[in-house]
Amino acid sequence: MQIDVLSLFPNMFEPLRESMIGKALERHLLNFDVVDYRSYSHDKHHHVDDTPYGGGAGMLLKPEPLFEAMDGVNQRHPGPKRVILMDPAGKKFDQQAARELSQESHLVFICGHYEGYDERIRTLVTDEYSLGDYVLTGGELPAMVMIDAIVRLLPGVLGNDESAHTDSFENGLLEYPQYTRPPEYRGMQVPEVLQNGNHQLIARWRLKESLRRTYLRRPDLLEQVELDDAAKKLLREVKTEEATKAAERRLNASTRNAEDPEQN
């Protein structure tokens, strides 16, 4: 995969060359270039922004530097590419989008700054993405998050490709709890089922705890995922267990209040 980033702050992307992405570069699974589009500005002061027509607060990125930076990318790497604009108005980036984009051979990220873009810049773009309903000072941090999420899905990047398939959101659910040695630490025990070597029981426990974590933390995800009959049965068990726990907590709280009238 080839990834190009158009940014006014190319040094911000140096940390991406560490860890898994650094290994992907070493193994030639990824080519990664950052272009400072300020070098394509047209005046001696290297301005890349100007005031908006019609007035208004802030400054807008001018079209010339970004168009010419894209010309340079196209000259170096001819062929089709997905050009991604980081913008608060874009669609929300998620794991499904990461999987889709990881199948592409060439991605280009345009990182804006200032108040916004000259609208003509959007004609360069195939996709617009946002990380969420908030505004950052520039597109660099969102681009780095997206690149990390995408590159880790490339075959051979992770030490064990199976790791990517068990991540949260890969099957529409949050990931189950995980443990390693020692089996007991400060009174906290690793669940017995994970230590008995019965892979069928382990798989059942993992699915049930994945459903439990999703039900408690992100119940909205359960509305979007299709569960088979076995998973539906486990989810019913989870709901019953959690309702029982909640009732016990309420009972214990009322008992404590009754025993300590000063709290009433």
Q: Report the SS3 class of residue 38.
A: helix
Q: How far apart are CA 243 and CA 157, in angstroms?
A: 42
Tokens coding 66: 């970004």
User: Which one is catalytic: 38, 52, 63, 88?
Assistant: 88
Binding residue numbers for S-adenosyl-L-methionine: 112, 131-136
- Tell me the Ramachandran region of residue 49: left when phi exceeds 0, alpha when psi lies from -120 to 50, beta otherwise: beta
Q: What residue numbers does the annotated binding site cover? A: 112, 131-136
DSSP 74-126: HHHS-S--EEEEEEEEEEEP-HHHHHHHTT-SEEEEE--BSSEE-GGGGGG-S
SS3 assignment, position 183: coil
DSSP-derived letter for residue 197 is -
Dihedral of CA 216/150/179/171: which sign? positive
167 tagged catalytic: yes
191 catalytic per annotation: no
Half-sphere exposure at residue 263, Cβ-oriented, CA atoms within 13 angstroms: 8
115 given a catalytic annotation: yes
State the Cα angle at 94 between 89 and 98, rounded to 5°.
110
The encoded tokens of residue 253 equal: 């709280």
Q: Which of 127, 167, 170, 175 is catalytic?
A: 167
**Annotated catalytic sites, by residue?**
88, 115, 152, 167
